[in-house]
Amino acid sequence: MNNKEAAKLVASAMGAAILAGVIGSNNTNQKVEAATNNQQVRGALRVKYNGLGGVNLLDNNGHFQDKYVYNNSAFKVWEKATINDQTMYRIGTQKQWIPAQYTNWDDGSSRKQNVNAVTIKYVPGYGINLW
């Protein structure tokens, strides 16, 4: 075997090792957990992500999809669940879940209801002017 053939063999082996390492790290070390605590919710969210690229979406079984959403994108929210021990929102199909940490969605439960009531006293038979 000459030097050129040896170099090709080493490069091929290195490429295979790198590829196996990348594929193996995604499939064997990642904890995957299907959706639990599902709740139907309605509302809208805006993606808040300042990193490079976008937020990788997951499916309802906890697997990453080849789909991304980008900063300031707006989506309707259909469902809330816990996937891979994180709160997630479904913004489309069961293959389109986004981690809550990358959104600004608020279900309104943290807001106080501030209701001011006014009683109007008037003489019956007369009208009230509105300004």
At residue 34, the pLDDT reads 83
In a domain, 42, yes or no: yes
| 72 part of a folded domain | yes
**Is residue 68, in this structure, part of any structural domain at all?**
yes
Please state, in angstroms and rounded to a whole number, the distance separating the CA atoms of residues 48 and 57. Answer: 14
Contact yes or no for 34/61 (Cβ under 8 A)? yes
Can you give the pTM of this predicted structure?
0.59
Cα(36)–Cα(17) distance, integer angstroms: 36
Number of domains in the chain: 1
Domain with 98 in it:
36-102
Please report where in the chains the tokens 């976008």 appear, as a residue: 54
Q: What is the mean pLDDT of each run of 10 residues along the chain (131 residues)?
A: 52 40 39 82 92 93 95 93 94 94 75 59 76 68
123 inside domain: no
Asked, for residue 70, whether it belongs to a domain, the answer is yes
Q: Is residue 95 part of a domain?
A: yes
